[in-house]
Amino acid sequence: MRSSIEQHVWPPILTGRPATLMALQHHLSKSQWWSAERMRANQLRQLDRLIDFAMRTIPFYAERLRAAGLEPGMPLTWDAWARIPVLSRHDVQSAGDHLNAATIPRSHGRSGEKASGGSTGIPVRIHKSEFTNLMFEAIQLREELWHREDTTGTMVMITPPFSAMSTAMRQAASTRKGMSMPHWGGIQSLIWTTGPLHMIDLILPADAHVDFILRHAPRYIYTLPSTLRLILWHCRDRGISFPGLRAVWTRSETVDDALRELCHATLGVRIVSNYSAAETGYIALQCPTSAALHVQSETCLVEILDADANPAAPGACGRVVVTPLHNFATPLLRYALGDEAECAEACPCGRGLPLLARIAGRTIDTLVHPDGRRQRFFFDQTAVANIRAIKEFQVVQKSLHRIEVLLAVGPSFSSADSAKIHAVMRAAFGSNFEIELSSCDRIPRTEAGKLRPVRSELPQLAH
Ligand SMILES: [Zn+2]
């Protein structure tokens, strides 16, 4: 651990923001083991403050909460909470500035606008306070403590350039040489002595990424799952490995079991993933002992709701409804961000934080049948990923009668492979659709650099 005092190395002393964050870690290290009842009782105390603030200062919520039978100053109960209507992305978009508080408590610091990645079309814009960012960093540090074995190791980052990067840095990152920094940066480098960071743009081809990784021999790779998949296929087909690599950390997109297996089989290391959104911050972190995701209950309330808005049973899939507990700048009360997740029973690791077995992706991606029936747009991705000649794929509903499978393939792609894909699509979507395969060099990414495995070009219902 670093010391915040100049010319002083031991015993380490932190001051300011790092000290606040590490003090908070002390509490989080205990609360992770709390019972569900104890956690919910404390969440209710925080929600009570948030609701009262929202009712008193934001007319949008005053009206909405009164209509649900809540009054300012009335102690909050879980029954009352369940009467609050779910807030959709569409609600947030149409309310615009009416969701923002005119002023927030002074100790929450300044607030600024934050927009979602826009992977589902129109981004959601909200305000976030400095206090919310502090809570975000607290969970970021928890992820480090749960998963990082060696903070002094070299990191290779393969992502789109950050908005904070200068033009020169962006240009350097977009070449095969990439750019280098002496430390990882971020909150990690204020607390620990971290190793060097080498960064290269995600837009470059897999062979450039692999060369870059081989040159820097990192302990950790940080990238998006769709980019990792290309790197793994490149390595698998050429027998390339990365000695010294300890783990691959990912963000943004969902990591499926096929990718975890491929990573382990090809590089002999595990994937560390999390579930977060720009509007809400961290929602869940991967369990230190399994691939399931623990909800970060100290910073958000997560509800998984079925079609009747009741809590979904363990093993069932439902809408993810999130309430960030600490953002008073734009309170999001029961916000359905457009994902579905499957809840799981208690985790064998013993932590009391609720468990999500998997994230099922954006609910907005629904398949519409010619007769108007809607179905979750889902197919056996593992079966497609196992076809070795395929580098990338995306399934697109083009019209009520036509589904296009967009493929980036190598020269060994055969008619048998094509037949396999047709069979997977028929098994998932029935025989009402004309399935068309088309090839491209690279599947277009969203603005945030994400590859969406399914996409519909039909008008989607607002959730
Ligand atoms: Zn666990």
What is the distance in A from the centroid of ligand 1 to the CA of 26?
19
Residue 381 confidence (pLDDT): 76
119 pLDDT higher than 70: no
What is the distance in A from the centroid of ligand 1 to the CA of 405?
37
What is the distance in A from the centroid of ligand 1 to the CA of 290?
6
Residue 417 confidence (pLDDT): 94
In a domain, 46, yes or no: yes
In a domain, 407, yes or no: yes
- Reported as a pLDDT band with limits 50, 70 and 90, residue 462 is very low
User: Do 293 and 270 share a structural domain?
Assistant: no
| Residue pLDDT, tens place only, 280-308 | 999 999 999 999 999 999 999 999 998 88
Mean local confidence (pLDDT), 204-223: 96
Q: How many structural domains is the chain composed of?
A: 3
User: Do 252 and 324 share a structural domain?
Assistant: no
Residue 73 confidence (pLDDT): 87
121 pLDDT higher than 60: no
In a domain, 211, yes or no: yes
What is the distance in A from the centroid of ligand 1 to the CA of 28?
15
What is the distance in A from the centroid of ligand 1 to the CA of 286?
8
Mean local confidence (pLDDT), 100-121: 84
CATH classification at residue 334: 3.40.50.12780
What is the distance in A from the centroid of ligand 1 to the CA of 6?
39
Among 230, 252, 276, identify where a domain stops.
276
User: Do 262 and 154 share a structural domain?
Assistant: yes
Among 276, 299, 320, identify where a domain stops.
276
Gap between the Cα atoms of 436 and 246, Å rounded: 41
User: Do 205 and 127 share a structural domain?
Assistant: no
* 226 vs 174, residue with greater confidence: 174
What is the distance in A from the centroid of ligand 1 to the CA of 261?
19
Residue 361 confidence (pLDDT): 64
CATH classification at residue 435: 3.30.300
User: Do 186 and 95 share a structural domain?
Assistant: no
Residue 296 confidence (pLDDT): 98
In a domain, 361, yes or no: no
CATH classification at residue 253: 3.40.50.980
What is the distance in A from the centroid of ligand 1 to the CA of 350?
6
Residue 159 confidence (pLDDT): 92
User: Do 370 and 310 share a structural domain?
Assistant: no
Mean local confidence (pLDDT), 186-193: 93
213 CB-near residues (< 8 Å, 6+ apart): 156, 221, 231, 242
What is the distance in A from the centroid of ligand 1 to the CA of 140?
17
User: Do 271 and 295 share a structural domain?
Assistant: no
Query: Are 331 and 50 in contact, with CB atoms under 8 Å apart?
Result: yes
What is the distance in A from the centroid of ligand 1 to the CA of 253?
21
What is the distance in A from the centroid of ligand 1 to the CA of 114?
31
In a domain, 132, yes or no: yes
User: Do 307 and 265 share a structural domain?
Assistant: no
What is the distance in A from the centroid of ligand 1 to the CA of 307?
27
User: Do 158 and 126 share a structural domain?
Assistant: no
In a domain, 3, yes or no: no
User: Do 323 and 371 share a structural domain?
Assistant: no
Residue 334 confidence (pLDDT): 98
What is the distance in A from the centroid of ligand 1 to the CA of 294?
6
Phi and psi at 454, nearest 5°, equal -130, 150
In a domain, 239, yes or no: yes
Q: Which domain holds residue 83?
A: 32-136+287-346
Share of the chain above pLDDT 70, in %: 96
What is the distance in A from the centroid of ligand 1 to the CA of 35?
13
| Residue pLDDT, tens place only, 127-176 | 999 999 999 999 999 999 999 999 999 999 999 888 788 999 999 999 99
User: Do 227 and 301 share a structural domain?
Assistant: no
User: Do 271 and 291 share a structural domain?
Assistant: no
- Reported as a pLDDT band with limits 50, 70 and 90, residue 463 is very low
Among 276, 296, 329, identify where a domain stops.
276
What is the distance in A from the centroid of ligand 1 to the CA of 378?
27
What is the distance in A from the centroid of ligand 1 to the CA of 36?
14
| Residue pLDDT, tens place only, 349-396 | 999 999 998 887 655 567 888 887 777 677 877 788 788 888 888 999
Residue 258 confidence (pLDDT): 83
What is the distance in A from the centroid of ligand 1 to the CA of 118?
31
- Reported as a pLDDT band with limits 50, 70 and 90, residue 444 is confident
In a domain, 223, yes or no: yes
Mean local confidence (pLDDT), 198-209: 92
